[in-house]
Structure 1
Amino acid sequence: MRLTRTLVTALTAGALALLTAPAADAGPVAAPPAVTAPAVVAPAPAAAAPDGFLYAWEHPHAGGFHCRWNGDNGNWAGCRNKVSDVWNNGFPGRGEDVKLYYGVSWTGSWVCLHQSHSIPDLALSGLRFFGPGAGKGQLVNDNVSSHDWVDAC
């Protein structure tokens, strides 16, 4: 998922650079040099820059409708108990990790999603709530009701 987001970002930036580059003067074009060595593979593009949001999608791999928040939310309403993909794209530093709660208003069991981490398929991951409280041991997939940003988990 992150790779897909990263590639889309890199391709968009590259296309924008080509579209906005000044036109070159027409003139003689030299023949390209003969290739005698294997081509060098460029390093993978950098991950998307943090934007301060927690993202959640209805289906794995950013499918279906989605919600996003840049602060605590005690009731996911339209996304509550319907999420199969999460991504913490919060800023590093204070309040960089996110606790996902089984219950509304930050109640029940919880799991932590560290800054820049993504779980593109919660069902496949088998992740379960492990904090104390109602919902402990339940699958996280389709069971998140609220979240808050914390300094560390």
Structure 2
Amino acid sequence: MRKISVLFATIGLVAVGALFPVTSAQASAACDTAWHGATWGHFYAYNYANCSGKLGSTASYDGNWGNSSGPFQGGDTNKASSILHKGESGMAVKVYDGTSYTGAFACIKKSEYYASSLYDNYLWAGPGNGQVPASNTISSHEWVWESDCDGSFLD
């Protein structure tokens, strides 16, 4: 009788798990949809949380999101509230709060897919300088190896 009770309890737990799957804290149906529709090899930034209000996308670097050249231009600087990584190389995308790849930074790994809200993320400003909020502060980005991220990753 005990074996039957344990069996039913196990089946019940499996059924509950199927009905209410555990998801990541950053999970977003809108970002999932955006990721599936995104072009392979590209990095995307969005004006709003949950991957909405696309600012731009690129397979390359951009050292100044506020100038008039490159994939991000003019009003794009300091506006990103969510980002998406659909790279093919295995490299991370390193975002900075300064132009020309300077200032506080953090990376998004290829395996992270996206950060649906940067409001609860921070860029690392270096030893003794603490952290800077990630939302509405990105001014440049580049593709780097994860080892170049100094352990500072968005999630």
TM-score for both structures, normalised by structure 1: 0.62
How many Å apart are 1:61 and its aligned residue?
A: 1.2
Alpha-carbon distance in structure 2 between the residues aligned to 1:149 and 1:91: 11
Amino acid at match of 2:82: D
Please say if 1:147 is aligned against 2:136. no
SS at match of 2:103: strand
Runs of 4+ in 1 over 3 A off after TM superposition: 1-9, 47-50
Q: For the Cα contact (< 8 Å) 1:130–1:137, is it kept in 2?
A: yes
Q: For the Cα contact (< 8 Å) 1:103–1:145, is it kept in 2?
A: yes
**Cα pair distance change 1:138/1:8, threshold 3 Å:** closer
Q: For the Cα contact (< 8 Å) 2:43–2:57, is it kept in 1?
A: yes
Q: For the Cα contact (< 8 Å) 1:59–1:83, is it kept in 2?
A: yes
Q: Which structure carries more helix by proportion?
A: 2
Please say if 1:71 is aligned against 2:60. yes
Bigger radius of gyration: 1
Please say if 1:55 is aligned against 2:50. no
How many corresponding residue pairs? 111
> Match for residue 106 of structure 2?
111
How many Å apart are 1:116 and its aligned residue?
A: 4.2
SS at match of 1:149: strand
Q: Give the gaps of 5 or more residues in structure 2.
A: 1-26, 67-74, 150-155
Please say if 1:128 is aligned against 2:122. yes
SS at match of 1:129: strand
Written as runs of structure 1 = structure 2, the 5 A alignment for 1:18-29 is: none
TM-score for both structures, normalised by structure 2: 0.61
SS at match of 2:100: helix
Please say if 1:82 is aligned against 2:71. no
CA RMSD of aligned residues (A): 2.6
Q: For the Cα contact (< 8 Å) 2:106–2:123, is it kept in 1?
A: yes
